[in-house]
């Protein structure tokens, strides 16, 4: 076999899904999903900014989570949509590296942000008298900015390790976008250090925040069970349930993709799961938070009422 180093070509080919009529159908489906993600998360951002009743730490984190979701999907979806329409499935070497880098940064930031949201609920439920003192604007701002900045230098090294590997023979990535597992399949060198780096990063950015979330909810559930009022327990749990659902979906799919043993048989499964946590979860988040959060529902009703009144030119 003639081996070909990555320096011999300047781009990769994203195989995605094949089929005569599939690209057109996928373009329509993914376009609707992308529009839904931008509109849904954009609405969450808008109401948390404009509604004074939502100017609390919990909705400050929710606003930033929605912004992250829009950025996260914008790293992959526009390129995928162009590929479906034009049949141009290539991505430049630098473009692939940039795509992986921003996916890692934004994904890691989301893990830490979900942990910060769990800590916010822990303080609100387990230490309510000191909630405003502990969850100050300064702390909230530091948690959000820190979730991003701590990712940047670490993932530079992660991406450097991947793109200094020799890629021999094929330049076809069996995926819809550039991601670490399918890219490592193309390497013709020892990827032991890459696997160690992936595991170390996953431990720090996925398992550690997830462990913190579990510990927070153990304390929260313990406090809820001690409440004498059934209505009080129900109300308190309802403020946490949406966050728990998002955490379960996001961490479940991401852990399977990055920490499960790699094999050719699992490539198609991982392809579907990666779509789940990069595309479907950002679409579900606004729905989950709006359907299971009374304050968000009230704010959305007020927003739509104002818009209907302005359209009908009726004073409110």
Count structural domains, the chain. 1
User: Rounded CA gap, 220 and 234, in Å?
Assistant: 13
> What is the pLDDT, as a whole number, of residue 165?
86
Residues with Cβ within 8 Å of residue 153, at least 6 apart in sequence? none
Paired tokens of 32: 């609707």
User: Rounded CA gap, 116 and 205, in Å?
Assistant: 13
Q: How confident is the model at residue 259 (pLDDT cuts 50, 70, 90)?
A: low
> What is the pLDDT, as a whole number, of residue 20?
55
* CATH number of the structural domain spanning residue 201: 1.20.1070.10
Is residue 57 situated within a structural domain?
A: yes
User: For the segment 37-52, what is each residue's pLDDT rounded down to a tens digit?
Assistant: 999 999 999 999 998 8
CB 158 within 8 A of CB 143: no
Is residue 1 situated within a structural domain?
A: no
The torsion angle over the Cα atoms of residues 100, 103, 108 and 114, rounded to 10 degrees, is -160
Q: How would you write the chain as a 3-class SS string? A: CCCCCHHHCCEEEECCCCCCCHHHHHHHHHHHHHHHHHHHHHHHHHHHHHCHHHCCHHHHHHHHHHHHHHHHHHHHHHHHHHHHHHCCCEEEHHHHHHHHHHHHHHHHHHHHHHHHHHHHHHHHHHCHHHHHHHCCHHHHHHHHHHHHHCHHHHHHHHHHHHHCCCECCCCEECCCCCCHHHHHCCECCCCHHHHHHHHHHHHHHHHHHHHHHHHHHHHHHHHHHCCCCHHHHHHHHHHHHHHHHHHHHHHHHHHHHHHCCCCHHHHHHHHHHHHHHHHHHHHHHHHHHHHCCHHHHHHHHHHHHHHHHHHHCCCC
> What is the pLDDT, as a whole number, of residue 27?
86
Question: In the sheet where 172-173 sits, what is the strand order?
Answer: 90-92, 11-14, 172-173
Is residue 163 situated within a structural domain?
A: yes
The torsion angle over the Cα atoms of residues 73, 74, 76 and 81, rounded to 10 degrees, is 110
Beta bridge partners of 11: 92
User: Rounded CA gap, 38 and 157, in Å?
Assistant: 31
Count of all residues that appear for the chain in the document: 316
User: Rounded CA gap, 300 and 307, in Å?
Assistant: 11
User: For the segment 211-238, what is each residue's pLDDT rounded down to a tens digit?
Assistant: 999 999 999 988 888 887 777 777 777 7
Q: How confident is the model at residue 3 (pLDDT cuts 50, 70, 90)?
A: very low
User: For the segment 101-117, what is each residue's pLDDT rounded down to a tens digit?
Assistant: 999 999 899 999 999 99
> What is the pLDDT, as a whole number, of residue 6?
45
Assess whether pLDDT exceeds 80 at residue 138.
yes
Is residue 228 situated within a structural domain?
A: yes
Q: Which of 22-36, 120-134, 214-228, 274-288 has the lowest mean pLDDT?
A: 274-288
> What is the model's pTM?
0.86
> What is the pLDDT, as a whole number, of residue 231?
76
Q: How remote is the C-alpha of 272 from its chain's centroid?
A: 15
User: Rounded CA gap, 83 and 80, in Å?
Assistant: 5
Assess whether pLDDT exceeds 80 at residue 128.
yes
> What is the pLDDT, as a whole number, of residue 313?
61
Is residue 315 situated within a structural domain?
A: no
Is residue 208 situated within a structural domain?
A: yes
Residue 80's domain comprises 6-310
Return mean pLDDT, the chain: 83
């Amino acid at each position: 076999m003639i081996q070909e180093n990555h320096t011999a070509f300047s781009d990769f080919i994203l195989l995605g899904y094949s089929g005569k009529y599939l690209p057109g159908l996928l373009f329509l489906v993914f376009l609707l999903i992308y529009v839904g993600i931008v509109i849904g998360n954009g609405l969450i951002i808008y109401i948390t900014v404009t509604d004074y009743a939502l100017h609390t730490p919990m909705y400050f984190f929710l606003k930033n989570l929605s912004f992250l979701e829009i950025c996260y999907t914008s790293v992959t979806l526009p390129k995928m949509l162009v590929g479906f329409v034009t049949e141009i499935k290539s991505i430049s070497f630098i473009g692939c590296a940039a795509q992986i880098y921003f996916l890692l940064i934004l994904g890691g930031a989301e893990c830490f942000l979900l942990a910060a949201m769990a800590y916010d609920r822990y303080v609100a439920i387990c230490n309510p008298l000191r909630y405003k003192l502990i969850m100050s604007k300064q702390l909230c701002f530091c948690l959000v900015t820190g979730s991003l900045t701590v990712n940047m230098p670490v993932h530079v090294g992660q991406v450097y390790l991947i793109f200094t590997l020799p890629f021999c023979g094929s330049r076809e990535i069996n995926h819809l976008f550039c991601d670490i597992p399918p890219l490592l399949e193309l390497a013709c060198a020892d990827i032991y250090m890459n696997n160690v780096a992936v595991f170390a990063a996953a431990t720090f950015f996925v398992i550690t925040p997830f462990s913190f979330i579990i510990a927070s909810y153990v304390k929260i559930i313990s406090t809820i069970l001690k409440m004498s009022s059934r209505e009080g327990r129900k109300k308190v749990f309802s403020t946490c349930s949406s966050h728990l659902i998002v955490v379960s979906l996001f961490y479940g799919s991401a852990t399977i993709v990055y920490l499960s043993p790699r094999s050719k048989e699992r490539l198609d499964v991982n392809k579907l799961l990666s779509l789940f946590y990069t595309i479907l979860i950002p679409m579900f988040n606004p729905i989950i938070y709006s359907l299971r959060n009374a304050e968000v529902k009230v704010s959305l009703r007020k927003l739509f009422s104002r818009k209907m009144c302005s359209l009908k030119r009726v004073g409110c």
